[in-house]
Amino acid sequence: MAETAPFWSESERVRNAIVDMLLAAEDGYVSGQAMSESLGITRTAVWKHLQHLMELGFAIEAVHGQGYRLRGHPDILMAPLLRRRLPSACRLGQDAVWVPRVDSTNALAWRCAREGAPHGLVVSAGEQTGGRGRHGRSWFSPQGGLWMSVLLRRPIPLSRAAEVTLLASVAVRRAIGETTGLWPGIKWPNDIVHHGRKLCGILAEIRADGEVVEQVVLGIGINANIPADAFPPELRRTATSVLAETGTPVDRLALAAALLAAFDPWLEALADDRPAFAELAEEWRAANVTLGRWVRVATPTRLLVGVAERVDDRGVLYIRTESGKVCAVHSGDVLF
Amino acid sequence: MLKIDDIRDLIRLLDESSLTELRIETEDMKLCLKKALTAPVTPPAAAAAAVAPPPAAAASFLPSPEAAAAPAADPAPPAGPAGPAPVQEANIHTITSPMVGTFYRAPSPDAPPYVDVGSRVTEKTVVCIVEAMKLMNEIEAECRGEIIEVLAENGQLVEYGQPLFRVRLG
């Protein structure tokens, strides 16, 4: 299916096939002739694609008379690399588009969706030039981060759609924890934070037909391997990265694969109108850094001050204000 | 405490029934659902015949004063069962909110609104965003015509089924 998807350019398709052949050979050699015949292109064309792959960071050894051997690959979410990290039952991430640079992975994912891209497509980029957060805010997304968007095409009831982003926050937290040993907190509704500074932001955009979601583009931006000093001064108090906190770069392919594998079955539950978030709400609450605290919540119309009393099984936050009134919050920024 | 899904079911039941009003009171909440009153159908001779609108129900929570623990809607209970709904004219479509959330007229605070009074829309025109928990739902017009009224304020919390825009079809 991926091989004919129109959202892949012909050269991407060929390069993915070359990487697949090199990976399949494991430590062995693949001859230029074999690649040329299998792909239906000239040996010169094969060589050009190999050069391009080397520019992307693939270490390819050429031995005269033997062919080409893969000695290493970059830590990017190219389809053949990501697919090998995923459990075969995981529907998310079996197709992937990676680009060195894009305005916004969410915007590119929508373009792919319009061209008929399948459920589970992962769109990622080395850097985003117009990364965006909630309500048009910009999102700092330089080289080193994990900037990805997942296209979901499942008939999720609109009444459960907000659970998608909450579940994504649980999946991201688990993935970071399992991959790095750093177990961050979750700030309502779905920010991943460590000591009050943001490690990851999640933003979903949906298109619904009546009361059923047709498509979701789930944007996940993880400050993975951004050096602490690469953050602009105005962000240093509010943002941090996995690298800055642990001192070790994280394997982004492993991180992405872990979060996709965790998230996949929860999404299927939502599509069956099963209460997926309720099942994980305890884990979400245990990791939550908002509950029980005196907070200020900037809602679009006013500032609420009070105690973050509880979050229900649909993710709605309840704030008890000084007057004793309890207000339900569906959207807003929690400030401490 | 009723869940949104329960209320949705009640709205459907009310729509399908011959009742015009439904009130439920429990210890910690009051719910009042009223159906829009059907306009008298004028004889089909009149060209611009007023037609009976499809039955619509308006929902509202009325937090009862004795139950402070009842979560109140934010920021305020929506304009509730405020009398009979206005009689709908022929060829007018009302775009309603498919979910509870915050209503945004523009993609960002400094961007122009998606649509305004006088804007022409087609089925796929995005007219607004309703956001809940960083899930942005782009609402499409799902009809063809001209926006004649904007019924919600930017940044306001909107309820399921709440009217957002009126569109003159054509």
CATH number at residue A309: 2.30.30.100
- What's the pLDDT score for residue A7? 67
Identify which has the larger pLDDT, A126 or A1. Answer: A126
What residue of A is the nearest CA neighbor of B105? A135
Please judge whether A206 and B138 are an interchain contact, meaning their C-beta atoms are less than 8 angstroms apart.
yes
Cβ neighbours of B133 (radius 10 Å): 26
A327 and A253 housed in the same domain:
no
Distance (Å, rounded) from C-alpha B37 to C-alpha B59?
Answer: 14
Domain that residue B131 falls in: 92-169
CATH number at residue A124: 3.30.930.10
A120 and A203 housed in the same domain:
yes
Report whether pLDDT(B150) > 50: yes
Reported as a single tens digit per residue, the pLDDT across A175-217 is 999 999 999 999 999 999 999 999 999 999 999 988 899 999 9
Q: Kindly state the tokens that stand for A264.
A: 């996949």
A108 and A58 housed in the same domain:
no
Taking the model in full, what pTM does it have? Answer: 0.80
Pairing verdict, β B157-158 and B30-35: unpaired
Distance (Å, rounded) from C-alpha A286 to C-alpha B153?
Answer: 36
CATH number at residue B155: 2.40.50.100
- What's the pLDDT score for residue B61? 35
A265 and A311 housed in the same domain:
no
Q: How confident is the model at residue A4 (pLDDT cuts 50, 70, 90)?
A: very low
Does residue A1 lie within any of the structural domains?
no
Distance (Å, rounded) from C-alpha A198 to C-alpha A191?
Answer: 7
Reported as a single tens digit per residue, the pLDDT across A62-109 is 999 999 999 999 999 999 999 999 999 999 999 999 999 999 999 999
Q: How confident is the model at residue A23 (pLDDT cuts 50, 70, 90)?
A: very high
R_g of chain B computed on alpha carbons: 17
Domain that residue A326 falls in: 294-335
A106 and A51 housed in the same domain:
no
N- to C-terminal Cα distance for chain A? 48
What residue of A is the nearest CA neighbor of B135? A204
- What's the pLDDT score for residue A8? 73
Q: Kindly state the tokens that stand for A290.
A: 């908002």
Nearest C-alpha neighbor of A288 from the set A194, A188, A209: A188
A166 and A187 housed in the same domain:
yes
The DSSP symbol for A138 reads B
As for how many domains chain A has, the answer is 3
Report residue A138 CA to chain centroid gap. Answer: 17
A84 and A194 housed in the same domain:
yes
Reported as a single tens digit per residue, the pLDDT across A238-260 is 999 999 999 999 999 999 999 99
Report whether pLDDT(B82) > 50: no
Please judge whether B133 and A315 are an interchain contact, meaning their C-beta atoms are less than 8 angstroms apart.
yes
Does residue A5 lie within any of the structural domains?
no
Nearest C-alpha neighbor of B86 from the set B41, B51, B50, B37: B37
Does residue B132 lie within any of the structural domains?
yes
A61 and A151 housed in the same domain:
no
Q: How confident is the model at residue A299 (pLDDT cuts 50, 70, 90)?
A: confident
Query: What are φ and ψ of residue A323, in 5° steps?
Result: -75, -5
- Least confident interval from A24-28, A117-121, B23-27, B165-169: B23-27
Which whole number is the average pLDDT over B27-40? 58
Which whole number is the average pLDDT over A270-285? 90
Distance (Å, rounded) from C-alpha A213 to C-alpha A202?
Answer: 18
As for how many domains chain B has, the answer is 2
Reported as a single tens digit per residue, the pLDDT across B36-61 is 544 333 333 333 333 333 333 333 33
CATH number at residue A33: 1.10.10.10
How many residues make up chain A in this entry? 336
> A48 exposed, middle or buried (CB, 10 Å; 0-12, 13-18, 19+)?
middle
Does residue A324 lie within any of the structural domains?
yes
Strands (E) across A279-325 are located at 294-298, 303-311, 317-321
Nearest C-alpha neighbor of B136 from the set A302, A107, A334: A107
Please judge whether A328 and B73 are an interchain contact, meaning their C-beta atoms are less than 8 angstroms apart.
yes
A47 and A93 housed in the same domain:
no
Query: What are φ and ψ of residue B148, in 5° steps?
Result: -115, -15
A105 is in an annotated binding site: yes
Does residue A89 lie within any of the structural domains?
yes
Report whether pLDDT(B8) > 80: no
Q: How confident is the model at residue B86 (pLDDT cuts 50, 70, 90)?
A: low
Does residue A156 lie within any of the structural domains?
yes
A169 is in an annotated binding site: no
Which whole number is the average pLDDT over B60-87? 42
Which of B74, B109, B140 has its CB closest to that of A327? B74
Nearest C-alpha neighbor of A225 from the set A284, A118, A304, A143: A143
Does residue A33 lie within any of the structural domains?
yes
- What's the pLDDT score for residue A313? 86
Distance (Å, rounded) from C-alpha A282 to C-alpha A66?
Answer: 56
A325 is in an annotated binding site: no
- What's the pLDDT score for residue B62? 34
- What's the pLDDT score for residue B77? 43
* Mean pLDDT score of chain A: 93
Q: What share of chain A in percent tops pLDDT 70?
A: 98
Please state, in angstroms and as integers, the Cα–Cα distance from residue A221 to each residue in A150, A199, B28, following that order: 11, 8, 41
Distance (Å, rounded) from C-alpha A199 to C-alpha A87?
Answer: 26
Distance (Å, rounded) from C-alpha A166 to C-alpha A283?
Answer: 11
Q: How confident is the model at residue A136 (pLDDT cuts 50, 70, 90)?
A: confident
Cα of A153 to nearest chain B Cα, Å: 15
Does residue B36 lie within any of the structural domains?
yes
- What's the pLDDT score for residue B44? 39
